[in-house]
Amino acid sequence: MKHRPPYFYFIDKNNYAHSCKGKMSQHDRTRRVEQGRKPPLPDCLCKIYQEDYYMQLQLKNLCKQYGTKCAVNHVNASLSPGVYGLLGANGAGKTTLMRMICGVLKPSFGSIRLNGKSIEELGERYYSHLGYMPQDFGFYPDFTAREFMLYMAAVKGLDAKTAKQRTEHLLHMVNLQDVANKKVKSYSGGMKQRLGIAQAELNHPQVLILDEPTAGLDPKERVRFRNLISDFAKEKIVILSTHIVSDVSYIADYILMMKSGQFLLGEPMETVTDHIKGKVWEILIDNREVGEYSRDFSVVNLHHENNMARLRIVSDTAPTIDAVTVEPSLEDLFLYHFGEGAQEEGKCEAFLLMPSDDLAGGAKRRVPLPYERSNDYVDEI
């Protein structure tokens, strides 16, 4: 007599393949199991678990224009669960992009979609999946941390029992349980940041947006905060915006680099610096030559050694004959694109391809847009 698995085996999605590709015959299902492979998710469970397997945030031709300035310029991305480090200099468009994803700002053009549905179509359902910690978080100073969390839980639509449970759990996670009854105005900057990420987690969000969460924190608080983000990031899309490169290098799975409102690159953390290998150098020079090299090259690091100076330089070509190449870091990559010697993007006329009734066969006409952007074309809005 065969031993029957417990009843909960059949509704545990981890016992099935992470795909839902339509119907499969019983013979094919049996053959998969005999081969030691997980069977596909049964049809009756496909709808229940579909959102988990196809969790995807899509940014499609996203633009935000203020007068003649384009703060976000035709951004396209498809994000699945993981931690995304959004890097860029001040004014690159990071905060504007994140505020559009959170629905605080309305895009001038383009769309934001969660699992194929626009945020306008999803309405309140979208915001129930969203957690947001803005760069400048406004606290009610006379609230205690516990009162503030319960207030935010009510704003997010949690019932009283769930709100209390989530509040106590999250205050414990961010190590504020012992000061939960103290007023927020008495908190340090690091404590306020921890309270900020706690409120963002109240509704178990699938998309977590953190804008400059470690700004102004001392090294100890930054390490604590990075660990918190790693704990919260499981099975979520986490977008972490910062210009503190060391923070994202520890916790990010992917790096998105933004400049002049556009994505320069999007790469896994393991391979993001590959394209600048052979472009990071170390040289040992006389102290009197430091000023000359600082003017001519992007110097990442300077270290004085007696009467000599050791420079770390990012450059396409060797700064001296005896320069030695070294392994590039994320900070080197940042300076390569944002240092004083980095090449600025040129202006060009952008075109929006739109279907036209005037052209035979539904051909597309090119409509010029007054944007500053690269030389690619936009297929659709």
Residue 15: pLDDT above 90?
no
Q: What percent of the chain has pLDDT over 90?
A: 50
Lowest mean pLDDT among 116-125, 284-293, 306-315, 337-346: 337-346
- Full DSSP string of 187-217: S-HHHHHHHHHHHHTTT--SEEEEESTTTT-
Domains contained in the chain, number: 3
Residue 113: pLDDT above 90?
yes
Q: Does one domain contain both 285 and 249?
A: no
Question: What mean pLDDT is predicted for residues 293-314?
Answer: 92
Tokens of residue 248, six digits? 């994202």
Residue 256: pLDDT above 90?
yes
Task: Answer whether residue 331 is part of any domain.
Answer: no
Are 310 and 303 in contact by the 8 Å Cβ rule? The answer is yes
Q: How many CA atoms lie within 13 A of 345 on its CB side?
A: 20
Tokens 């790096």 correspond to 255
Q: Does one domain contain both 12 and 75?
A: no
Q: Does one domain contain both 161 and 102?
A: yes
Query: Whole-model pTM?
Result: 0.73
Domain of 89: which CATH number? 3.40.50.300
Q: Does one domain contain both 17 and 134?
A: no
Q: How many angstroms separate the CA atoms of 239 and 114, rounded?
A: 14
Q: Looking at this protein, which amino acid is placed at residue 153?
A: A
Lowest mean pLDDT among 79-88, 159-168, 228-237: 228-237
End-of-domain residue from the set 244, 268, 292: 268
Task: Answer whether residue 126 is part of any domain.
Answer: yes
Task: Answer whether residue 352 is part of any domain.
Answer: no
Residue 259: pLDDT above 70?
yes
Q: Does one domain contain both 68 and 175?
A: yes
Q: How many angstroms separate the CA atoms of 108 and 72, rounded?
A: 9
Predicted confidence (pLDDT) per residue in 18-31, tens digit: 444 445 565 665 56
Confidence (pLDDT) at 181: 95
Q: Does one domain contain both 288 and 209?
A: no
Task: Answer whether residue 348 is part of any domain.
Answer: no
Q: Does one domain contain both 175 and 203?
A: yes
Q: Does one domain contain both 82 and 125?
A: yes
Task: Answer whether residue 334 is part of any domain.
Answer: no
Which residues form the domain of 47?
7-53
Q: Does one domain contain both 138 and 249?
A: yes
Task: Answer whether residue 144 is part of any domain.
Answer: yes
Q: Does one domain contain both 139 and 256?
A: yes
Q: Does one domain contain both 242 and 126?
A: yes
Residue 288: pLDDT above 60?
yes
Q: Does one domain contain both 35 and 78?
A: no
Chain Cα centroid distance, residue 269:
12
- Full DSSP string of 111-127: EEEETTEEHHHHTHHHH
Question: What mean pLDDT is predicted for residues 343-349?
Answer: 39
28 forms beta bridges with none
Confidence (pLDDT) at 262: 92
Task: Answer whether residue 371 is part of any domain.
Answer: no
Average pLDDT, the chain: 79
Task: Answer whether residue 372 is part of any domain.
Answer: no
Q: How many angstroms separate the CA atoms of 157 and 43, rounded?
A: 32
CA quadruple 201, 245, 341, 281: dihedral sign: negative
Confidence (pLDDT) at 55: 80
Helix ranges restricted to H, 107-178: 119-122, 124-128, 145-155, 160-173
